[in-house]
Structure 1
Amino acid sequence: MFVDDVVPVAADPDVALFVARTEGPADRTLLVVHGGPDWDHSYLREPLVELAGRYRLVLPDLRGCGRSTQGLADEQYTPDAVVADLRALLEELGVERADVLGFSYGGLIAQRLALTAPERVRGLVVASSSVLPVPANAFDGWAERDRRTGAEARVWSNPSAEGAELTRAAAVAGAEANVWRAEALPEYLRRLEEARFSAEWAKPWRAGTLPSPRCENAVERLAALNIPVLLLHGRQDMTFPAELAEHAAELIPSARAVVLDEAGHMAHVDQPTAWLRAIEEFLEQD
């Protein structure tokens, strides 16, 4: 269903994005921005593939990720560089306007794209991410989260671990924190086995030089754009509190929050049918 391609998006330095895309009308393109960022896009293919044909799906690996260009200097891994890549990608594919779905870290990138190039974005889906900053005490007192997140924290704190295998090990260790339903865990682990991890972004992140992807005054600025926004979240998300999605929807007149029960950060794995239905309804009214 997906056709793989490599699309050049920058010349200084040379950057090409690996892109998985499907058939569908160009004027109904859904650009999907993965999280991580040292992951690839593959963990998001399902259930989105069910939209193929009715919509043209475009799922790139960001620079430094998956099968896209790697080996760049640390200062070349920035949110602004990624946004420039995505704008160039839409240009190369002949897409004037797209609906944009950003997942987790990709949700912050998607907001930045909408605010930087509003003429390119028809509608915005912020999935398992947040428009509002996460308070330092957001998860205080949630013992179950403390239990589930401990394994991944221990992996990242290991001074001898490095490279893509560290990223993979952290993802596997964090699986129970990212997927709420035990029944969904085997499927998620299968996706992690097939994912291509890197460690390009981890270098500036661990060095403390990676710029924040968060846009200042994002709520006010998105409200001023007046584009449709879907805030799609799992109730048991342990990375971005679900309450922030609901609160942001109250502050942005053109936004609607859909919070799925019995779903964690990987809400599309915990509740794939309900997750996809929310996106379909949003795209149909957009």
Structure 2
Amino acid sequence: MQQAINSVDGVGIAYRVIGEGPPLLLAHGTALSSAIWRAFGYVKALRSEYRLILPDMRGHGRSDTPHDPESYAMDLVVGDLLAVLDALEIDRVHYLGYSFGGRVGLSLAVSAPERLRTLTVGGGSSRPQAGSFDKLFFPGCIDVLDNEGMTAFLDQWNAHRTWPLDAATRAAFDANDTRALVAYLRRSETEPGVPDAALEALDLPTLLFAGSEDRPRLSDTRRLATLIPGSRLAVIDGFDHATTVAASAEVLAVVKPFLAEH
């Protein structure tokens, strides 16, 4: 993997580039890494048409994993992705982000819209993030991770789910630096979200999607569709927040035509 450095705080961001064509940056969700894009079939499906830019978000995968919660402020995370684009000397990209990656995409779009050709956000939210992880995982999840570790976290999350965790997701979570993940989660809980007025001012082709069973994020995604001018909304039938990103055939059935138009 290659590495870009965020000049603000010196954090290193690991990334790889695969394929040929217009650049498309894929940003993964919480406690995952860029490896999911290959594991779930996105790389195979897109590499012949796009130059895929696959970063590991700070605190995840092979990127640096600071243990200070303030290292996970959203402006720093947005700066990480800009550092990757600058290292590659790429002015503008298509953007596909899921969950955490979707939230980062919304923030990137309002702070540096000139760097994006299109914006695709899956399972994202512009709302203040206080309490969001209790809804996505289970009540008290950050304290369980902090005090009891990843195995207890995964077991309790699995017990609260309708469907069992798939092996790929469990393995990806288990590979994390727990202290870094706790720092990221605690800092994320303080994020104020993206102002409605900033979203209403966007002039960027935007696709929004969420699973039909993603109760925490489907309503947030529908709300985003009312705020972002001209945005499109797709509901992926039969999947919840954890399983939607793994449903690559269903997701790409709506994403690929959108990208092809632009």
Alpha-carbon distance between aligned partners in 2 of 1:96 and 1:81, rounded to the nearest angstrom:
19
Residue pair 2:146, 2:182 contacting (<8 A) in 1 also:
no
Alpha-carbon distance between aligned partners in 2 of 1:44 and 1:125, rounded to the nearest angstrom:
15
* Residue 170 (structure 1) aligned with residue 147 (structure 2): no
Deviations 1:194-222 (A, max 9, x none): 4531231423644x6864062122xx323
Give the direction of change, closer, same or farther, for the CA distance of 1:128–1:209 in structure 2 (3 Å limit). Answer: closer
Q: CA deviation at 1:170?
A: 2.5
3-state SS in 1 of match to 2:48: coil
3-state SS in 2 of match to 1:14: coil
* Residue 221 (structure 1) aligned with residue 198 (structure 2): yes
Give the direction of change, closer, same or farther, for the CA distance of 1:213–1:56 in structure 2 (3 Å limit). Answer: farther
Moved over 3 A (4+): 71-74, 131-136, 152-160, 175-178, 208-211
Deviations 1:63-103 (A, max 9, x none): 22211112354322211111111111101112110111121
Give the direction of change, closer, same or farther, for the CA distance of 1:261–1:160 in structure 2 (3 Å limit). Answer: closer
Q: CA deviation at 1:157?
A: 4.3
- Alignment map for 1:69-84 (pairs within 5 Å): 69-71=64-66, 73-84=68-79
Alpha-carbon distance between aligned partners in 2 of 1:229 and 1:22, rounded to the nearest angstrom:
24
Q: CA deviation at 1:158?
A: 3.7
Question: Partner of 1:42 in structure 2?
Answer: 35
Alpha-carbon distance between aligned partners in 2 of 1:81 and 1:135, rounded to the nearest angstrom:
19
Q: CA deviation at 1:60?
A: 0.8
**Structure 1 counterpart of 2:183, one-letter code:** K
Question: Partner of 1:8 in structure 2?
Answer: 4
- Alignment map for 1:50-65 (pairs within 5 Å): 50-65=45-60
Coordinate RMSD, CA, aligned: 3.1
Deviations 1:99-133 (A, max 9, x none): 11121122111111111111101111110112456
Give the alignment's TM-score, normalised by structure 2.
0.83
Give the direction of change, closer, same or farther, for the CA distance of 1:135–1:83 in structure 2 (3 Å limit). Answer: closer
Alpha-carbon distance between aligned partners in 1 of 2:103 and 2:258, rounded to the nearest angstrom:
19
Larger radius of gyration: 1
Q: CA deviation at 1:245?
A: 2.1
Question: Partner of 1:29 in structure 2?
Answer: 23
Residue pair 1:29, 1:98 contacting (<8 A) in 2 also:
yes
Give the direction of change, closer, same or farther, for the CA distance of 1:281–1:131 in structure 2 (3 Å limit). Answer: farther
Unaligned residue ranges in structure 2 (runs of 5+): none
Question: Partner of 1:243 in structure 2?
Answer: 219
* Residue 255 (structure 1) aligned with residue 231 (structure 2): yes
Unaligned residue ranges in structure 1 (runs of 5+): 139-144
Question: Partner of 1:202 in structure 2?
Answer: 182
3-state SS in 1 of match to 2:49: coil
Q: CA deviation at 1:32?
A: 1.4
Q: CA deviation at 1:249?
A: 1.9
Give the direction of change, closer, same or farther, for the CA distance of 1:22–1:175 in structure 2 (3 Å limit). Answer: farther
Moved more, 7-16 or 76-85: 7-16
Question: Partner of 1:142 in structure 2?
Answer: none
Aligned length: 256
Alpha-carbon distance between aligned partners in 1 of 2:124 and 2:160, rounded to the nearest angstrom:
15
3-state SS in 1 of match to 2:2: strand
* Residue 161 (structure 1) aligned with residue 141 (structure 2): no
Alpha-carbon distance between aligned partners in 1 of 2:158 and 2:219, rounded to the nearest angstrom:
22
Alpha-carbon distance between aligned partners in 2 of 1:245 and 1:115, rounded to the nearest angstrom:
17
Alpha-carbon distance between aligned partners in 1 of 2:202 and 2:254, rounded to the nearest angstrom:
22
Question: Partner of 2:167 in structure 1?
Answer: 189
Alpha-carbon distance between aligned partners in 2 of 1:76 and 1:262, rounded to the nearest angstrom:
36
Q: Percent identity?
A: 27
- Alignment map for 1:260-279 (pairs within 5 Å): 260-265=236-241, 266-269=243-246, 271-279=247-255
